[in-house]
């Protein structure tokens, strides 16, 4: 039994998410979230068997956060000794041009992930801290890094190249890398499994709409385009991120508003998107404001849908037509309104959403297009933790 248990760790700047996954059944045995690391009012919420226990107090750093998580496992009967888990899977945001497969972690690998921090200053450093803390606590267990960029490593040059001075681009690693790859890979595989088809036999568009959001065009199982680029800032409108903007805006704000780089970074990553336009980044809250007649919230929603439709249109053309369009992640899985609006008025392209199927409540993969539609529209729950856990088992057993 224990040879199928994987601890999955997703380490952010001041938070740390973890899940103990049983890869034999696909179930989450326990999960938790450590928040406000480094502050006096830290908190850890640990969920097992549908019950959440909390602990609050100062949490000095990620190492202490993980130690507290380990205590929670002890208290709830799932001690994470070396004998208890087969592997630890770490979500790493940026693999640059170096990593495009799940990779067994060594000191050299940690150093390389750290070196890639210039490309992902907000993400890779906390990933490294999480890895180092976990390795110290579970030194006998293989640790595997799974990269968010990996699935998009093979993007065609035409899709991955920015039209800027090529020497400057090469010198500084400026290209489109894409993110959320673990989810796009997992969901597009699940689509094939669900439809009983080989992923190499058809074309799909996957719309991952969560707090972060991205779209991908997948031709016969291979990603040929995706909406995120050098960083996870490009593309769709997100909870707090702007997605696509005219790069001239950055120059304008630098020159005319005299904002420095960090202030612009903060503006575009944390105070833009739905939040920038409406004051809230959570989609349910946005929906509530719209229902109450808030005009800013309605505009935010309209901009969100407009951008989404623009990408769907682009990817339909790039693929020469899609066989399947799939919605996933928090908003994609739970908002029938977004799904209906994203694909409204497209019957001439063989795309339609059946209202009853779309609004039926379910947590399972399901078809929401009408019978006989040329394009199959699906809702497929993503599960990045399970994908990371499986990759960790595969990689550690083949090492
Ligand atoms: P993350 O990117 O943090 O993993 P998720 O995939 O969990 O995000 O998505 C979070 C988003 O999903 C939030 O904006 C949340 O409001 C939205 N969401 C969750 N449930 C619903 C729902 N029932 N209806 C609309 N939006 C929802």
Q: Whose CA is nearest to atom 3 of ligand 1?
A: 211
CA of 162 to the centre of ligand 1 (A): 31
304-331 pLDDT tens trace: 999 999 999 999 999 999 999 999 999 9
Question: Which residues of the chain does CATH 3.30.420.40 include?
Answer: 5-147, 198-384
329-354 pLDDT tens trace: 999 999 999 999 999 999 999 999 99
Task: Report the mean per-residue pLDDT for the chain.
Answer: 95
How far apart are the C-alpha atoms of 72 and 31, rounded to whole Å?
A: 10
3-state percent helix, strand, coil for the chain, nearest multiple of 5: 40, 20, 40
- Which bin fits 2, alpha (ψ -120 to 50), beta or left (φ > 0)? alpha
Q: How far is CA 237 from CA 4, 229, 276, in A?
A: 38, 14, 10
CB of residue 331 inside a 6 A radius of ligand 1: yes
pLDDT confidence of residue 1: 43
How far apart are the C-alpha atoms of 346 and 359, rounded to whole Å?
A: 19
Instruction: Name every residue whose Cβ is closer than 8 Å to that of residue 194 and which is 6 or more positions away in sequence.
Output: 365, 378, 380
Report, as an integer, the average pLDDT of 2-8.
89
How far apart are the C-alpha atoms of 81 and 70, rounded to whole Å?
A: 9
CA of 362 to the centre of ligand 1 (A): 15
How far apart are the C-alpha atoms of 131 and 10, rounded to whole Å?
A: 9
Reported CATH class of domain 5-147: alpha beta
CB of residue 283 inside a 6 A radius of ligand 1: yes
pTM: 0.95
Q: Which of 3, 61, 148, 262 is catalytic?
A: 148
Tell me, yes or no, if 225 is annotated catalytic. Answer: no
Judging by beta carbons within 10 Å of its beta carbon (0-12, 13-18, 19+), is residue 135 exposed, middle or buried? middle
Place 83 in a pLDDT band, splitting at 50, 70 and 90: low
Place 31 in a pLDDT band, splitting at 50, 70 and 90: very high
Q: Kindly tell me if the per-residue pLDDT of 133 is higher than 70.
A: yes
CB of residue 210 inside a 6 A radius of ligand 1: yes
Phi, psi of 363 (to 5 degrees): -105, 5
Q: 198-384 domain in CATH 3.30.1200.10?
A: no
Cα within 13 Å of Cα(111), Cβ side: 3
Structure tokens at 314: 């682009």
């Amino acid at each position: 039994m224990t040879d199928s248990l994987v601890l999955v760790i997703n380490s952010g700047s001041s938070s740390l998410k973890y899940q103990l996954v049983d890869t034999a059944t696909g179930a989450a045995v326990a999960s938790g979230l450590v928040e406000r690391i480094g502050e006096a009012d830290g908190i850890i919420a640990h969920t097992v068997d549908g019950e959440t226990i909390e602990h609050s107090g100062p949490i000095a750093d990620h190492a202490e956060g993980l130690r507290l998580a380990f205590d929670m496992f002890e208290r709830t009967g799932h001690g994470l000794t070396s004998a208890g888990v087969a592997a630890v899977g770490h979500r790493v945001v940026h693999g640059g041009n170096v990593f495009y497969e799940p990779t067994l972690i060594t000191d050299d690998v940690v150093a390389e992930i750290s070196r890639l921090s210039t490309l992902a200053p907000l993400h890779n450093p906390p990933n490294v801290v999480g890895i180092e803390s976990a390795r110290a606590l579970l030194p006998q267990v293989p640790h595997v890094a799974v990269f968010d960029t990996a699935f998009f490593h093979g993007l065609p040059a035409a899709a991955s190249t920015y039209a800027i001075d090529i020497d400057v681009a090469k010198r500084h690693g400026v290209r489109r890398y894409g993110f959320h790859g673990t989810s796009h890979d997992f969901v597009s595989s699940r689509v094939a499994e669900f439809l009983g088809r080989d992923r190499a036999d058809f074309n799909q568009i996957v719309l991952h709409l969560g707090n972060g959001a991205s779209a991908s065009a997948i031709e016969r199982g291979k990603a040929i385009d995706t909406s995120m680029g050098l960083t996870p800032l490009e593309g769709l409108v997100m909870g707090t991120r702007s997605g696509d903007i005219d790069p001239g805006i950055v120059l304008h704000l630098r020159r005319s508003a005299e904002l420095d780089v960090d202030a612009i970074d903060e503006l575009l990553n944390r105070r833009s998107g739905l939040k920038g336009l409406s004051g809230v980044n959570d989609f349910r809250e946005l929906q509530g404001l719209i229902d109450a007649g808030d005009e800013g919230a309605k505009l935010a929603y309209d901009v969100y849908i407009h951008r989404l439709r623009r990408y769907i249109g682009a990817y339909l053309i790039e693929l020469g037509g899609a066989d399947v369009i799939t919605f996933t992640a928090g908003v994609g899985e739970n908002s029938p309104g977004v799904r209906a609006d994203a694909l409204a008025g497209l019957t001439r392209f063989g795309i339609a959403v059946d209202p009853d199927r779309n609004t039926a409540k379910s947590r399972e993969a399901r078809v929401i297009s009408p019978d006989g539609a040329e394009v199959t529209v699906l809702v497929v729950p993503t599960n990045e933790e399970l994908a990371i856990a499986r990759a960790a088992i595969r990689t550690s057993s083949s090492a």
